[in-house]
Amino acid sequence: NMTLIHETMLHHMESVSANKITRENKMTAIRVLVNGAAGRMGQTTVKAITNDPDLILIGQTGSTDNLAAAIKENQAQVVVDFTNAEVAAENTQVIIDAGAHPVIGTSGLLPEQIKHFQEQCKKLKLGGIIAPNFSLGAVLMMKHAQEIVKYFPHVEIIEMHHDKKVDSPSGTAMRTAEMLLEANPDVNQSSFSQKEMVPGARGANYQHIPIHAVRLPGFIAHQQIIFGDIGETLTLRHDSTDRQCFMPGVALACEKVVQLEHLVYGLEKILG
């Protein structure tokens, strides 16, 4: 009997200790609101935040909700936005005005808009991130492309996404083109002039780089960066086969933005 009582007391002490740790975690956990929670990325994000001990999901909003009111009511520290390109700028402004840390995964923001939000956040000393892609593999693809383009200056991008994606080219493709030009200002400079028999046949020209956008059912998010030189080509390809691949990056962003005093563009800015 004494052994049983002793074991019961130990079990109770362990239970109290575990509850205390859970309570402490919940007290120090970052309060996250997910905007666009009903969408494909939103639903995956909701699950990921719910299962992360360092984050606490305090709200889910959509197009019919008042985002500013929800941030205030729920005392959200971080707002993750996975909505659509049409409302990306408006939502980012609402989040900043409410004093919450923006984690923006919605593409469709223009370079001048991103710069404008960065200036605002710097003045407010408010940490945030706009990331065209939260996948580690996609970020590594872009990073290594910057090394390759120094030796292979002839390059084109093909990006493939699901047919429900309204904006093209993708934010990832645009960010890739920007990073390639930063790494090598002579990218595609000596290309021959082209005659398009059908306008747009050569893709969209962005930062001197042709970008070809494919929108079909069956895809999630995919990109190829094709480098060409005399007698050889080198292709970097990234495929997202499950939206889970974005979640470690989203969780990391939620934790990092509360420590920042400015807004960064690209997941690579907060990695290692």
Tell me if 84 sits within 8 A of 106, measured CB to CB: yes
**Secondary structure of residue 4 in the 3-state scheme:** helix
Radius of gyration of the chain (CA): 22
Closest CA to 100 of 124, 77, 128: 77
d(CA 78, CA 132): 18
Residues 6+ apart with CB under 8 A from 127: 101, 121, 256, 257, 258, 259, 260, 261, 262, 263
DSSP state of 7: H
Write down the catalytic residue from 101, 161, 222, 256.
161
Based on the residue annotation, tell me whether 161 is a catalytic residue of this protein.
yes
d(CA 145, CA 47): 32
DSSP state string for 147-210 = HHTTT--EEEEEEEE-TT--SSS-HHHHHHHHHHHHH-TTTTTTPPP---SSTTTT-EEETTEE
Write down the catalytic residue from 101, 165, 212, 222.
165
The CA-based diameter of the chain, rounded to the nearest angstrom, is: 92
Based on the residue annotation, tell me whether 144 is a catalytic residue of this protein.
no
Catalytic residues: 161, 165
